[in-house]
């Protein structure tokens, strides 16, 4: 079904750097591609890759070096030279795992066992947030838009100070949330009066129009409503946006997704799934009243669900999805024309990365294409039933069961065949994994390649290695 094309406003691509931070040369290649695909700006979530200094130096990543000040500036300058704005995203309430995981910051948590949520009652918490923002703003000359996060503020109201605060008549958890965000937003406006402030909307979805009107946020922030599902509820989303508008927040953003929202450990994205999410957003945009000023859409590409979760799909395997989503917004559908624009621009035969084939030897149009191909090949192997369920195949279950292993009473002839098969699979996996690692370290830090291999390859190889070792031990007991 064809919708009207995306109406107006900026198309931002979200760069989530809290996992698999691209090497700077690769980052520049990505920005170059984004500009060719019609992207207007970057929503950059640095987290621990930002070069915080002074008392905040402990926030910098240790698995690999954070970007240097020069690198952060060069990324912005390069993006600007391509006509793209850079908007930093700095979490200020929820999802502060990268800050609150550090022992000196433990006392600033809302509750001890929730690493993500800041205690809104402590003045040093607001001071910390403002110092983070100050360093980020200073590192972005000419900055006029800032995203302050504020999504998924888990366990808010569970801390002792919150319980005390809520004991006063008439106080609610909604007010507790709003008062902290308003305090941060007011401090930002005082420091940088020209600054536009964006925030995630999810904590405000259940709030009434009157609560929002009375929150003090109306003139301060622009909500960004996010939904990454292929079956996004259009009517509900439209009514949410209309509610924000009626409460006085008429300048609104929305957020879709091109990767990192299928499951927490997805390795290869489905373009179709993400295109369907964008088709739903087109229906939303077409249904909004004239009073809503839709400032733009952020096409998110999560690299982790949060700072302490595993890696989602890497950028190279998701570029066909991103290109297809942008074309969908442009055409109002993923038409044959839109698909052929994607495949020609990226030099591939299909918008689905799992079945794409090269159309040319030129790699310049699709930075990271070789890594995408290798990941797809390895992923197919890792998910093949022969390898994944090797211990369940008939021969293994019949001649090398846990019972037989434990008693070391086996048929050497057949167990050696099992050993040979396991060895063949292991050699193939090792060879493919090594090719992936070699290519990955060209685009990402060594730590990313290590994490990716340990996350996706090692758990599949471990049972095969165990079987081989057990067979050798058993055969020693049976053969002179």
Query: In this structure, are residues 328 and 282 in contact, taking their beta carbons and an 8 Å threshold?
Result: yes
- How is residue 300 written in tokens? 């998110």
Residue 418 CA: distances (Å) to CA of 177, 400, 401, 424 = 59, 9, 12, 10
Phi-psi region of 133 (alpha: psi -120 to 50; beta: other; left: phi over 0): alpha
Residues ≥6 apart with Cβ < 8 Å to 304: 16, 18, 19, 260, 310, 311, 312
* C-alpha span between 87 and 80 (Å, rounded): 11
Strands (E) located in 46-170: 85-88, 145-147
* C-alpha span between 331 and 327 (Å, rounded): 6
Query: In this structure, are residues 246 and 292 in contact, taking their beta carbons and an 8 Å threshold?
Result: no
* C-alpha span between 316 and 348 (Å, rounded): 13
Q: Which residues are catalytic?
A: 152
DSSP string, 241-290: HHHHHHTT--EEEEEEEEES-S-TT-SS--HHHHHHHHHHHHHHHHH--T
Number of Cβ atoms within 10 Å of the Cβ of 78: 17
Query: In this structure, are residues 343 and 349 in contact, taking their beta carbons and an 8 Å threshold?
Result: yes
* C-alpha span between 475 and 272 (Å, rounded): 50
Number of Cβ atoms within 10 Å of the Cβ of 327: 24
- How is residue 297 written in tokens? 């859409």
CA nearest to 269, candidates 329, 325, 342, 331: 325
Query: In this structure, are residues 282 and 219 in contact, taking their beta carbons and an 8 Å threshold?
Result: no
């Amino acid at each position: 079904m064809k919708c009207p094309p995306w109406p107006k406003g900026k198309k931002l691509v979200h760069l989530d750097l809290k996992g698999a931070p691209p090497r700077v040369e690769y980052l520049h290649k990505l920005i170059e591609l984004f500009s060719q695909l019609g992207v207007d700006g970057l929503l950059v979530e640095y987290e621990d890759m930002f070069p915080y200094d002074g008392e905040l130096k402990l926030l910098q990543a240790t698995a690999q070096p954070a970007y240097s000040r020069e690198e952060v500036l060069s990324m912005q300058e390069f993006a600007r030279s391509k006509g793209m704005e850079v908007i930093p995203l700095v979490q200020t309430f929820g999802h502060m795992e990268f800050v609150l995981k550090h022992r000196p910051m433990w006392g600033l948590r809302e509750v001890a066992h929730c690493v993500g949520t800041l205690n809104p009652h402590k003045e040093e918490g607001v001071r910390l947030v403002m110092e983070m923002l100050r360093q980020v703003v200073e590192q972005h000359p000419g900055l006029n838009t800032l995203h302050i996060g504020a999504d998924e503020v888990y366990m808010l109201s569970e801390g002792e100070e919150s319980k005390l605060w809520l004991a006063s008549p008439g106080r609610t958890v909604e007010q507790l949330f709003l008062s902290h965000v308003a305090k941060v937003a007011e401090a930002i406006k005082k420091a940088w009066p020209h600054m536009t402030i964006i925030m995630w909307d999810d904590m405000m979805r259940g709030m009434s129009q009157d609560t929002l009107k009375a929150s003090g946020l109306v003139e301060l922030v622009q909500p960004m409503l996010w939904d990454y599902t292929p079956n996004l509820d259009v009517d509900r989303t439209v009514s949410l946006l209309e509610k924000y508008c009626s409460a006085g927040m008429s300048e609104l953003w929305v957020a879709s997704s091109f990767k990192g929202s299928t499951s927490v450990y997805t390795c290869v994205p489905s373009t179709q799934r993400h295109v369907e999410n964008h088709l739903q957003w087109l229906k939303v945009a077409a249904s909004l009243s004239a009073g809503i000023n839709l400032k733009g859409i952020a096409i998110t590409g999560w690299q982790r669900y949060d700072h302490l979760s595993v890696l989602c799909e890497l950028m190279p395997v998701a570029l066909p999805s991103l290109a297809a989503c942008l074309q969908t917004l442009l055409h109002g559908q993923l038409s044959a024309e839109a698909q052929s624009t994607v495949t020609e621009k990226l030099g591939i035969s299909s918008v689905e990365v799992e079945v794409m084939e090269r159309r040319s030897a030129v790699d310049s149009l699709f930075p990271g294409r070789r890594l995408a191909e290798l990941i797809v090949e390895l992923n197919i192997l890792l998910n093949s039933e022969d390898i994944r369920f090797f211990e369940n195949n008939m021969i293994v279950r019949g001649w090398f069961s846990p019972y037989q292993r434990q008693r070391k009473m086996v048929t050497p002839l057949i167990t050696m065949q099992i050993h040979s098969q396991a060895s063949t699979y292991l050699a193939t996996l090792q060879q493919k994994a090594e090719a992936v690692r070699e290519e990955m370290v060209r685009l990402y830090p060594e730590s990313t390649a290590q994490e990716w291999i340990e996350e996706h390859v090692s758990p599949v190889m471990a049972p095969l290695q165990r079987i081989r070792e057990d067979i050798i031990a058993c055969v020693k007991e049976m053969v002179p």
